Amino acid sequence: MLSSLSLRAPPNRYSSLPLLGEHLEGLCESLSAQGYPREAIRRRVLATPLLSATLCKAGVHALRELTAADLSSLAPQPTYWTAQLACSLVRSLTEYLQDRGELASAPTTPTDTKIDAFCRYLKNVRGLGTETVAGHRARAAPFLRSLEYDTHPLALRNLDEGDIESFLLHEGQRVGRVTMQKVAATLRALLRYLAAQGEAPSDVYRTVASSRCYRGERLPRVLPWDSVRSLLHSIDRTTPKGRRDFAILLMIATYGLRAGEIAALKLDDVQWRLRQIRIPRPKVGPELLQPLTDDVAAALLDYLRNGRGTSEYRQLFLRVRIPPGPIKSSAVADVFDEWSSRAGVQRLPKRAGGPHCLRHSVATHLLRAGASVKTIGDLLGHRSVESTEVYLRLQVDDLRAVALPLPTGVALDVTP
């Protein structure tokens, strides 16, 4: 395939490059099989001389000497066009060589071993879900690194309150109060596990202080329903991406779905003959059945016929960029951010949760339209009525009607 690309030099000029030349033909065929257009492949090949020179300058004698992290770290700084292409080449090359076992395995550190054992305990003993375990992993590893556990394996046995406080103070400067609760919970779970293994003091986990947060202390962040309509009307449905994005946001605005639920939808979940849609709920477990409305059905048909294309993947929503594949939850947030910005929708604080504010907007809109709290809770898949009752606080007009009048004849002292 290399010979069929319109390159700036003869193909053998690239196939004879040190380190990279022998892999170029296979890399090009692999990218083509993944759906990369010829121009994207050609641009990566054009960047191979720069990457080859960078590797030689770094003293690399064979790619087998490098781990995936090593190869990624050698990507040129993307300060100009060719270097940007070289970064894309490094990403594609790393994936290609990893799949074929052509890169060295990253050495396993004592921290990695300890965290792996902790995660197995969370999954097999405590029965936590995959995503929850991944969150614990991401929050537990920095604590062991803060103790320099790889070079000081006895640090856990000598652990004291000062070490814990120092770590929590550092994390507190990086994340918010709500996230700090999760950090503290993970740290307590880790220290209890290590204590049970005899590797940490038995009661040190009790010294882990958590930030104080109150249930329902923050109101849901909502958009006015007119803004939700403006957002949907602003989407350009003449392109495959626009058709996909419109279907995604319309489903959130209709059913109040979470981003993870959108990403988990499969083709079989849309039951056309029964006029219903099955909503997978990775967060809470049991699936939820919702009626397939005419508007949602029309949007999905438009996307499936004119936007999705043919694919071996069974997920409903796919990426529009190469390589093809299912979208992730983060892609739903990107969709919301892009179109809300284009529509000029009133911007919410970054902590508003992105597309999750549409879920809150649906609940508030239904509540103001007279729907019962139980009906809204069933639509959103809440397990408890308490989760839905938070929206009652947004009924400002109704709350004004039940407010008690101020007592007459009483002088109020308003001096500071």
Distance separating alpha carbons of residues 395 and 391, to the nearest angstrom: 7
Tell me whether residue 394 is in a domain: yes
- Catalytic annotation present for 136: no
Distance separating alpha carbons of residues 412 and 98, to the nearest angstrom: 74
Q: Helix/strand/coil (H, E, C) string of 377-404?
A: HHHHCCCCHHHHHHHHHHCHHHHHHCCC
- Catalytic annotation present for 258: yes
| Mean pLDDT score of the chain | 84
Among the listed residues 321, 325, 327, the one whose alpha carbon sits nearest the alpha carbon of residue 265: 327
What DSSP line would sit under 34-102, residue for residue?
TT--HHHHHHHHHTHHHHHHHHHHTT---GGG--HHHHHHTSPP-SSHHHHHHHHHHHHHHHHHHHTT-
Candidate list 136, 139, 356, 365, residue with the active-site label:
356
- Catalytic annotation present for 356: yes
Among the listed residues 221, 163, 228, 215, the one whose alpha carbon sits nearest the alpha carbon of residue 191: 163
pLDDT at 31: 86
Greatest distance between any 2 Cα atoms in the chain:
97
Top-confidence residue, 5 or 227: 227
Tokens of 107: 């050495």
Distance separating alpha carbons of residues 25 and 154, to the nearest angstrom: 50
Q: Angle at Cα 134 formed by Cα 132 and Cα 137, nearest 5°?
A: 115
Question: pLDDT of 362-383, one tens digit each?
Answer: 888 888 888 888 888 888 877 7
Among the listed residues 96, 98, 71, the one whose alpha carbon sits nearest the alpha carbon of residue 86: 71
Top-confidence residue, 349 or 273: 273
Percent of the chain that is helix, strand, coil (3-state, to 5) = 60, 5, 40
pLDDT at 225: 87
Provide the domain count of the chain.
3
> Is this structure's pTM higher than 0.85?
no
pLDDT at 40: 85
Q: H or E segment at 286?
A: strand 285-291
Cβ pair 236, 245 in contact under 8 A: no
- Catalytic annotation present for 360: no
Question: 193 falls in which pLDDT band (50, 70, 90)?
Answer: very high
Tokens of 96: 């290609």
* 147 φ, ψ (degrees, to nearest 5): -85, -5
Say whether both 197 and 248 belong to one domain: no
Tell me whether residue 406 is in a domain: no
CB-based burial, 123-148: b 16+ in 10 Å, e otherwise:
eeeeebeeeebeebeebbbbbbeebe
- Catalytic annotation present for 229: no
Residue 305 has pLDDT above 90, yes or no: yes
Tell me whether residue 407 is in a domain: no
Tell me whether residue 144 is in a domain: yes
Say whether both 389 and 249 belong to one domain: yes
Question: 217 falls in which pLDDT band (50, 70, 90)?
Answer: low
Question: 118 falls in which pLDDT band (50, 70, 90)?
Answer: very high
- Helices 240-255 and 329-343 cross at an angle (nearest 10°) of 100
Say whether both 93 and 198 belong to one domain: no
pLDDT at 241: 93
Say whether both 314 and 333 belong to one domain: yes
Picking from 179, 207, 235, the residue at the C-terminal end of a domain is: 207
Picking from 175, 207, 239, the residue at the C-terminal end of a domain is: 207
Cβ pair 32, 41 in contact under 8 A: yes
Candidate list 42, 359, 360, 365, residue with the active-site label:
359
- Catalytic annotation present for 359: yes
**For residues 106, 107, 108 and 111, what is the CA-based torsion angle, rounded to 10 degrees?**
-100
pLDDT at 395: 63
Tell me whether residue 283 is in a domain: yes
Q: What is the CATH number of the domain that holds 373?
A: 1.10.443.10
Mean pLDDT of 179-208: 89
pLDDT at 351: 47
Candidate list 23, 42, 365, 382, residue with the active-site label:
382
**Residue numbers of the domain that contains 358:** 225-399
Mean pLDDT of 258-286: 86
Mean pLDDT of 52-59: 87
Candidate list 283, 314, 374, 383, residue with the active-site label:
283
pLDDT at 75: 82
Tell me whether residue 408 is in a domain: no
Candidate list 139, 258, 308, 365, residue with the active-site label:
258
Tell me whether residue 214 is in a domain: no
Residue 263 has pLDDT above 60, yes or no: yes
